[in-house]
Structure 1
Amino acid sequence: MVEYDLIVIGGGSGGLTAASGAASMGAKVALIDDQPGLGGDCLHFGCVPSKAFITAAKEVHAVYKGAAEFGLTVSGDVLFERAIERVKEAIDEIQEIDSDERFESLGVDIYRGKGAFKDEHTITIDGENPIKGKRIVISTGSRPNVPPINGVENVSFITNETIFNLDYLPKSVVFIGGGPVGLELAQSLSRFGSDVTVIETSQSVFKKEDHEIIPIVTKALEKELTFVFEADVTGISEQNGHKVVTYKVNGEEKTIESEAIMMSTGRKPNTDKLNLEAAGVNENKGYITVNESLQTNKSHIYAIGDVNGAFPFTHGAGMEGKLIVQNAVFGLKRKVNYGNVPWVTYTEPEVFHLGLTEQEAKEKHGEEIRVFKVGTDDVDRFIAERKKDGLVKVITDKKGHILGAHAVGEDSGSWMQEIVFAKEHGHKIGDISTVIHPYPTKGAILNQAADMYWREKLFDGWLPKVSEKYIKWVR
């Protein structure tokens, strides 16, 4: 039986980071993956294809919007198949970077198949070929959650794993669930020409965002999508070639017909085939329980990425993968910290999230927090581009240390990165005031938020009284 210093199960972002990092440090590493190519959900079904899809839809939308505003006429039909081709081209190009050959050249042994525990140190591949590891990392990701809706087993539907296999543009689509990824895809389909309805059980979408961000992005999306809130889907069926979704709102049963149904009802961890019981690894509803060092109850077994349920984003898994190299390979006890890790929802406008919301900050730090808000309608670049329906909101403690930062606006995921650096390195919001931004840029909105801090600190306190006396008597 081959023995390894580290076995990694799953070839997504976290697993690849852990495997390559450990191998580069001299560890003997095995990587087990059951997909045709490395890269995981992010490359094949998530981040990469969705952003290629979103960009294509945005370009189509810009054509129609520009034509309407400037008196031009647009003719012809959208070549939806070209959008799908662009998605596959992007996947293929990045797949070359995440090739087996590259990781093998780093010293990683790659095994194809499903990995499962035989005991707490032994892993089998497709039930055979056991290998042994001193330490093991579980990084098997997640898959679309399909709720037990009446009739679901008899009706075909789309998920984020199948949408990019479409060979035609559905005339109408009903999204069951309004999660962030679903909304990105819903807006894109609408821009290609589909009539899109989103059925959501809650009162709103973007429930994890700050309360002042939610209405702005919702209002923008309502121009392109139809929302049905506080609705429970009770059944789906197929009648006369159309999909029929039955749902209840305020106790009243309603139906809606569409050409396609998209399941956007969250994710579930890929842990059911791992035979965790054989290793004695604890889990909760499929998610593997880990401590702050990403260790399971078996100290030599770690879990990163979607399977631990802590921070289900690709960049979060990559960060955890780097931490694993330190902890699993070198035996350190570094703790993971998600407080300085942002996320972005790539609708238009984009939604940026870092740290605590205002409500969370009040619960944790009391009423002495400070909030600085700047609308995009107060920033010259946004005014010039006619992108005035946006907001930046920075939450600090009473001394100006950044607790959270949130934004909604075009490309906010790009121009908010400056505050990620500031928070990561312990800078106060006021420090951004001294950073010179070229005029006019969108990032200047953070300058203005920082200037608000100084105006409040300098001009609402004792300094104006002292300076007034100084000017009067000395100058």
Structure 2
Amino acid sequence: MTTRKVDVAIIGAGTAGMGAYREVIKVTDSVVLIEGGEYGTTCARVGCMPSKLLIAAAEAAHFGQHTSEFGVSYEKPKIDGKVVMARIKSERDRFVGFVEEAIDGWKEEHRIRAYAKFKDPHTLELSDGTYVEAKRIVIATGSSTFVPPPFKAFGDRLIVNDDVFDWEDLPESVVVFGAGVIGLELGQSLARLGVRTSLFGRDYLVGPVSDDIIKQSAREIFEDEFDFHPHGEVTRMENIGDGVEIDYLENGEAKTVQYEYALIATGRRPNVDQLGLENLSIELDDRGVPKYVLATGQTSIGHIFIAGDAGNYIPLLHEAADEGRTSGYNAARYPDIRAFSKSSPIAVMFSDPQIMMVGESFKKLTDRDASFAIGTVDFKGQGRSRVMLKNKGILRVYGEHGTGRFLGAEMIGPAAEHIAHLLAWAHQSRLTVSEMLDRPFYHPVIEEGVRTALRNLNVELNMGPKMPARCMDCGVGA
């Protein structure tokens, strides 16, 4: 039996694991980064980047069909699915290559290609038959797509989002299950690229949105564009050899439809079930994931840390990177550890219109019985948005009674990815709504809609004068 002894062992070479490694090597050269799968991170290989490439192609196809109001017309776009997928895979491989290049540049003795599981709190048994004995360990094993058992009825015609980015060509039809971020982004994009697409969600949810007003607006927008069922009542699912067939109810009427594939986008689960956690006296949550302190990454076993999607907090790249740095910093220095403050929450969904959430969501505020007011702007009348024919959606901003502090926001609408950053910085700076209104707003820009919402919020907080519904400075209704 070969045993290697190190100060720190990191399980997983994704975004969190790489972040942890960069912190550890600042302190000690006695470290190993253990990865059994492919290098490349979830984001680069099957997540953020390839999905945005698909979205970009879909937006190009969509725009050319919706310009008549400008007095500009195009012929119906010719969509070459093979070219679409070739670009996605080529650019995806380029992004993955950057990650592989970075890891390949690290010391060879720091890298081990094998799967690891705990034999005891300090010992990892590797799939190559060797062992690693580590003083401190970081779990950064990421997450995987979860397919609920009923969907197994689709057999070999069942796909997950990972599979989409290996297609050689676009299919004729796809049924998508799950109206979360992945399902909505992929479903809308495929529909815009000429794929006959139906999307079935549940409980009328739309992405991560918790504010009922935003949810209602989002449902109306997506239902108007493609075959979206926010609370789909599917009664039968079956593999029919060269495709799938489903039965569902629509307004009480039974319907039967066939598709080439069933894309399951119902969520992801932390990759912790093969880690041998049963060999540790570690505290787990109700999903079998180690409990940990978010500010330190520390689990109930002091020298074991966890980061990224494996910890099941917020499965976003920037969160994984932050948590990786935190766990790596503390694993390198244990037992001297430091608590890090978290950045303000920020999430963006790249649908069209985009969806964003910043700070505390409507649900979090109501769950903690916060005393807050709401300011709203409907982009239907917002000046710059109307100019560009991007005037769909609503922004809702939340402020604290008494202090006037900005608490958070939810939105579906134009330029949400940029407005999210603006509001996240304000939230992290703990600005009041009045202080935010003291900042400059250029004219004419979509951000003037943010000012309108903040003005409305200040009125509701009894901290500002009521503004006219229409004004010359900010556009009609802005």
Output the TM-score relative to the length of structure 2: 0.87
Match of 1:356 in 2: 360
- Find the aligned partners of 2:213 and 2:290 in 1 and give their Cα distance: 34
Task: Select 1:435's aligned residue among 439, 443, 448.
Answer: 439
Q: Give CA deviations for 1:255-310 in whole Å, capped at 9, x if unaligned.
A: 32111111111112212221112233343324232233322221111121222211
Deviation at 1:383, TM superposition (A): 2.2
Contact kept? 2:118, 2:277, Cα under 8 Å: yes
- Find the aligned partners of 2:317 and 2:303 in 1 and give their Cα distance: 24
Match of 2:53 in 1: 52
| Amino-acid identity (%) | 25
Contact kept? 2:391, 2:414, Cα under 8 Å: no
Structure 1 stretch 53-62 or stretch 16-25: which is displaced more? 16-25
Match of 2:476 in 1: none
Contact kept? 2:43, 2:317, Cα under 8 Å: yes
Task: Select 2:413's aligned residue among 380, 393, 409.
Answer: 409
AA matched with 2:259: S
Q: Give CA deviations for 1:419-475 in whole Å, capped at 9, x if unaligned.
A: 111111221122121222332222233333334455642447xxxxxxxxxxxxxxx
Structure 1 stretch 65-74 or stretch 319-328: which is displaced more? 65-74
Deviation at 1:414, TM superposition (A): 1.3
Match of 2:396 in 1: 393
Structure 1 stretch 27-36 or stretch 64-73: which is displaced more? 64-73
AA matched with 1:269: P
Match of 2:475 in 1: none
Report the CA distance shift for 1:147/1:383 in structure 2 as closer, same or farther (over 3 A): same
Structure 1 stretch 283-292 or stretch 257-266: which is displaced more? 283-292
Report the CA distance shift for 1:411/1:360 in structure 2 as closer, same or farther (over 3 A): same
Report the CA distance shift for 1:279/1:234 in structure 2 as closer, same or farther (over 3 A): farther
Q: Give CA deviations for 1:199-241 in whole Å, capped at 9, x if unaligned.
A: 2232333364321111222222113321334445454323363
AA matched with 2:198: T
AA matched with 2:453: A
Determine helix, strand or coil for the equivalent of 1:344.
strand
Q: 1:91-106, aligned counterparts within 5 Å?
A: 91-100=92-101, 102=103, 104-105=105-106
- Find the aligned partners of 2:233 and 2:29 in 1 and give their Cα distance: 51
AA matched with 1:74: E
AA matched with 2:423: I
Determine helix, strand or coil for the equivalent of 1:65.
coil
Report the CA distance shift for 1:25/1:445 in structure 2 as closer, same or farther (over 3 A): farther
AA matched with 1:297: S
Report the CA distance shift for 1:48/1:245 in structure 2 as closer, same or farther (over 3 A): same
2:445 pairs with 1:444: no
Deviation at 1:96, TM superposition (A): 3.5
Deviation at 1:21, TM superposition (A): 2.1
- Find the aligned partners of 2:88 and 2:362 in 1 and give their Cα distance: 37
Contact kept? 1:14, 1:139, Cα under 8 Å: yes
Q: Give CA deviations for 1:377-423 in whole Å, capped at 9, x if unaligned.
A: 45322122122222221111111112211221122011231111111
Structure 1 stretch 439-448 or stretch 194-203: which is displaced more? 439-448
Contact kept? 1:146, 1:265, Cα under 8 Å: yes
Determine helix, strand or coil for the equivalent of 2:446.
coil
Q: 1:68-467, aligned counterparts within 5 Å?
A: 70=71, 72-74=73-75, 77-100=78-101, 102=103, 104-105=105-106, 109-149=110-150, 152=153, 154-206=155-207, 208-231=209-232, 233=234, 235-239=236-240, 241-247=242-248, 254-283=255-284, 284-292=286-294, 293-331=296-334, 332-335=336-339, 340-366=344-370, 368-398=371-401, 399-452=403-456, 456-459=462-465
Deviation at 1:187, TM superposition (A): 0.4
AA matched with 1:350: Q
- Find the aligned partners of 2:30 and 2:165 in 1 and give their Cα distance: 37
Contact kept? 1:155, 1:236, Cα under 8 Å: no
Number of corresponding residues: 458
Contact kept? 1:377, 1:388, Cα under 8 Å: yes
Determine helix, strand or coil for the equivalent of 1:297.
coil
Contact kept? 1:32, 1:112, Cα under 8 Å: yes
Contact kept? 1:372, 1:453, Cα under 8 Å: yes
Q: Give CA deviations for 1:165-211 in whole Å, capped at 9, x if unaligned.
A: 11222222111222221110000100110111112232333364321
- Find the aligned partners of 1:459 and 1:201 in 2 and give their Cα distance: 41
Contact kept? 2:174, 2:195, Cα under 8 Å: yes
Segments of 5+ residues of structure 2 without an aligned counterpart are: 467-478
Report the CA distance shift for 1:275/1:166 in structure 2 as closer, same or farther (over 3 A): same
Structure 1 stretch 353-362 or stretch 229-238: which is displaced more? 229-238
Contact kept? 2:11, 2:116, Cα under 8 Å: yes
Deviation at 1:246, TM superposition (A): 3.8
- Find the aligned partners of 2:381 and 2:308 in 1 and give their Cα distance: 39
- Find the aligned partners of 1:242 and 1:459 in 2 and give their Cα distance: 60
Deviation at 1:42, TM superposition (A): 1.2
Report the CA distance shift for 1:151/1:6 in structure 2 as closer, same or farther (over 3 A): closer
Match of 2:23 in 1: 21
Determine helix, strand or coil for the equivalent of 2:210.
coil
Contact kept? 2:375, 2:455, Cα under 8 Å: no
Determine helix, strand or coil for the equivalent of 2:130.
strand
Deviation at 1:126, TM superposition (A): 1.2
Deviation at 1:151, TM superposition (A): 5.3
Contact kept? 1:32, 1:110, Cα under 8 Å: yes
Determine helix, strand or coil for the equivalent of 2:244.
strand
